């Protein structure tokens, strides 16, 4: 398949999963009715709680989660692919994880990815984020075939680690998903340039569905859900009032970008002068 119609849903998730899932259901159905084949949701789409204790009180395993079951039913009912950007779930050992799930049109889970890079920062405005105290990092990157298109999975802060995206692209990813809940401060400074850079350097489409606005837990997120083409052009961008944005992805554009700039073939090994450590692009 050379073309794939996609939608990035924008949300302002609160603390109650029931309320959030009702809004997710509405927006996903609208996107499916508009012709989207793959519908992507933001990070923390099912809930954004006020405290770690409140978050942990809402944790289910993947198999017991009513939200996971609802996503499966939605994908099956609409006959579309659904990327549930990320949810806070409990793994088999009871530890919290921030997990992205891809649901196939038959409702089965086709892929899963646990966020690898932890957002442990103090921002210039005084905001403190310590994700590693809330959930454990993943260790494995993930790809999945969506109607013959190779999709590489990531979540939010991962976008600051380009080696991960190069590895996904080298493994065949034509589209890179970056569901996010980007802060207002870092979003204003870095959101567009980072996502465009990941698209350009890998000759890949980037899908970045985002949280936006003032959340019930007091957090302010940047929004501006984006779809970026392999040449780095923003082909769709959500405003504050948009439920979702859509675009038709043509995989011939991936081939064209990678032929024009064959960076995968041009990478060379080198060593660091002070350490002698061998590095390869």
- The domain ranges of the chain are 3-263
| Fold for the domain defined by 3-263 | Nitrilase/N-carbamoyl-D-aminoacid amidohydrolase (3.60.110)
What would the pLDDT profile of 207-245 be if each residue is shown by its tens digit? 999 999 999 988 899 999 999 999 999 999 999 889 999
pLDDT at 20: 96
Average of per-residue pLDDT across 59-81: 97
What would the pLDDT profile of 165-174 be if each residue is shown by its tens digit? 999 999 999 9
Q: Which residues of 225-234 are buried (b: 16+ CB within 10 A; e: fewer)?
A: bbbbbbebeb
pLDDT at 41: 98
Contact present, 137 and 116 (Cβ < 8 Å): yes
Record the tokens describing residue 256, joined without a space: 């064209």
Residues with active-site annotation: 43, 115, 156
First CA to last CA distance, the chain? 30
Contact present, 56 and 44 (Cβ < 8 Å): no
pLDDT at 52: 84
Residue 7 clears pLDDT 90, i.e. is over it: yes
Residue 1 clears pLDDT 70, i.e. is over it: no
pLDDT at 50: 80
Record the tokens describing residue 73, joined without a space: 């039913």
Contact present, 25 and 243 (Cβ < 8 Å): no
pLDDT at 37: 98
Residue 275 clears pLDDT 90, i.e. is over it: no
- From start to end of 60-218, where are the E strands? 81-90, 96-103, 109-114, 120-122, 128-130, 142-146, 149-153, 175-177, 205-208, 212-214
Find the helix packing angle between 17-33 and 66-78, rounded to 10°: 10
Record the tokens describing residue 65, joined without a space: 């989660």
């Amino acid at each position: 398949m050379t073309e794939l119609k996609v939608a990035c849903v924008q949300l302002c998730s609160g603390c109650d999963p029931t309320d959030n899932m009702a809004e997710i259901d509405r927006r996903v159905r609208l996107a499916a009715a508009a012709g989207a084949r793959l519908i992507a949701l933001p990070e923390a789409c099912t809930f954004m709680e006020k405290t770690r204790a409140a978050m942990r009180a809402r944790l289910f395993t993947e198999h017991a989660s009513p939200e996971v079951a609802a996503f499966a039913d939605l994908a099956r009912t609409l006959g579309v692919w659904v990327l549930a950007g990320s949810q806070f779930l409990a793994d088999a050992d009871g530890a919290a994880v921030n997990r992205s799930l891809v649901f196939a049109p038959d409702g089965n889970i086709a892929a899963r990815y646990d966020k690898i890079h932890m957002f442990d920062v103090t921002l210039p405005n005084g905001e403190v984020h310590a994700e590693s105290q809330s959930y454990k990092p993943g260790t494995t990157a993930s790809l999945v075939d969506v109607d013959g298109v190779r999709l590489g999975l990531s979540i939010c802060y991962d976008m600051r680690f380009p080696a991960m995206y190069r590895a996904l692209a080298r493994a065949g990813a034509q589209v890179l998903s970056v569901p996010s809940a980007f802060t207002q401060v870092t979003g204003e400074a870095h959101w567009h340039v980072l996502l465009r850079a990941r698209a350009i350097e890998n000759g890949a489409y980037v899908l970045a569905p985002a949280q936006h606005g003032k959340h019930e837990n007091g957090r302010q997120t940047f929004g501006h859900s984006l779809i970026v083409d392999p040449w780095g052009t923003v082909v769709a961008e959500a405003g504050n009032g948009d439920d979702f944005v859509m675009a038709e992805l043509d995989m011939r554009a991936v081939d064209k970008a990678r032929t024009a700039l064959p960076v995968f073939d041009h990478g060379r090994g080198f060593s660091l002068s002070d350490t002698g450590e061998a590095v390869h692009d």
